[in-house]
Amino acid sequence: MLYLDANVFIYAAINQDAIGDQARSLLRRVQQGKTHAVSSLLTFDELVWAIKRYRSFEDAINAGKAFLLMPGLRLIDVNEDIIALALELMEKHRLDPRDAIHASSAILEDAEAIVSSDEHFDKLKEIPRRDIVETS
């Protein structure tokens, strides 16, 4: 099972270059049940904010609805265990809070990797990062 960082969904929604195509391809495989994936409900905030910023409020609402209803994607809550581990990861690796929450979510869900274009995850020894390009 893969953990999908918010930028997978953001690239799929707004990027028309190769990375956007690769993100859309990955999400299609998740929807078809060919790839098992999980993401945090924190992703909703990041996705909707980015779409609102670069597109429109209406597009942001539609992206949020699509994210919440995406077939094959399991969404996990941000809970005390995730936040406690996130704080440890922040201290140990100097991660930003959102990255630490995503990383701790992936670790506690026993994901095989975090799919992200964010190289900040490369400093983690607890879980590997796979670039969006590597998963398409």
Give pTM, 2 decimals: 0.96
The CATH number linked to 114 is 3.40.50.1010
Which strand (E) or helix (H) includes residue 29? helix 18-31
Tens digits of per-residue pLDDT, 23-80?
A: 999 999 999 999 999 999 999 999 999 999 999 999 999 999 999 999 999 999 999 9
With bands split at pLDDT 50, 70 and 90, how would you rate the model's confidence at 136?
Answer: low
CA torsion 69-45-122-93 (nearest 10°) is: -140
Neighbouring-strand partners of residue 14:
none
**Beta-strand pair 73-76/113-115:** unpaired
Of residues 102, 98, 117, the one with CA closest to residue 40: 102
The boundaries of the domain holding residue 53 are 2-135
- Total domains, the chain: 1
